[in-house]
């Protein structure tokens, strides 16, 4: 009786994961943000970019954006893209960096909530169809973007050394990504791992 019950729960959990796995599939995967060219973004029909901060633009333990990424963001702005930082980090950290870059921001965003994403799209006077979110985490950035129905780009995290909790999450993310590839979820959504 007890085993039957446990099996039922296990099957329910399994079904739930399968049904929701599609929300963890990024549109594209890149090694780092600088490799995402304006041309590629235009091919995706994108003119609006929502950016994660920690480990996408800045290594999680650092206060300053690497020069190369600063230049990259300027080039995107010059090319006419609308940009907003959407970060789960504290306002004090996000504000300082956003002001240096002269880019609007939303802090304490609570991704995977879609609310801050909608708010950012509104601030930029844009729409869901032409927006992409770029971030390093499946369970926050990619999940939030897919739930809202915008395009999603996963980048590899900038810092290799992280808190123990993040390391644990990375391990699960890695397992999910290889599972997605094995089950052809990734190729079925034309996800490319661009080097
Ligand atoms: Mg991040």
pLDDT in tens, 117-136: 999 999 999 999 999 999 99
Distance 187 CA to ligand 1 centre (A): 24
Distance 138 CA to ligand 1 centre (A): 9
Distance 194 CA to ligand 1 centre (A): 19
Task: Domain 2-194: give its CATH code.
Answer: 3.40.50.1000
- Stretch 141-164: mean pLDDT, rounded? 88
Distance 16 CA to ligand 1 centre (A): 25
- Write out pLDDT tens, residues 150-161: 999 999 888 776
**Nearest by Cα to 63 from 99, 32, 31:** 99
Average pLDDT, the chain: 88
Distance 30 CA to ligand 1 centre (A): 14
**Nearest by Cα to 133 from 158, 160, 106, 159:** 106
Positions of E strands within 19-172: 28-30, 48-51, 82-86, 105-106, 131-135, 151-155
**Over pLDDT 90: what percentage of the chain?**
64
Distance 79 CA to ligand 1 centre (A): 25
More confident residue, 123 or 162: 123
Q: Which of the given ranges, 13-22, 28-37, 180-189, has the highest pLDDT on average?
A: 28-37
Say if strands 28-30 and 151-155 run parallel, antiparallel, or are unpaired.
Answer: parallel
């Amino acid at each position: 009786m007890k085993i039957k019950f446990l099996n039922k729960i296990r099957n329910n959990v399994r079904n739930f994961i399968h049904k929701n796995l599609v929300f963890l599939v990024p549109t594209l995967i890149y090694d780092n943000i600088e490799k995402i060219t304006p041309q590629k973004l235009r091919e995706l029909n994108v003119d609006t970019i929502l950016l994660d901060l920690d480990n996408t633009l800045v290594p999680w333990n650092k206060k300053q954006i690497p020069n190369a990424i600063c230049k990259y963001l300027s080039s995107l702005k010059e090319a006419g893209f609308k940009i907003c930082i959407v970060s789960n980090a504290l306002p004090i950290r996000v504000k300082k960096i956003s002001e240096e870059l002269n880019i609007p921001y939303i802090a304490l965003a609570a991704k995977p909530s879609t609310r801050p994403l909608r708010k950012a799209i509104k601030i930029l006077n844009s729409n869901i169809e032409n927006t992409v979110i770029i971030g390093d985490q499946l369970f926050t950035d990619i999940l939030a973007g897919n739930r809202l129905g915008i395009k999603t780009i996963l980048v590899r995290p900038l810092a290799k050394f992280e808190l123990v909790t993040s390391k644990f999450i990375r391990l699960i993310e890695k397992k999910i990504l290889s599972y997605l590839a094995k089950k052809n979820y990734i190729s079925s959504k034309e996800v490319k791992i661009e080097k």
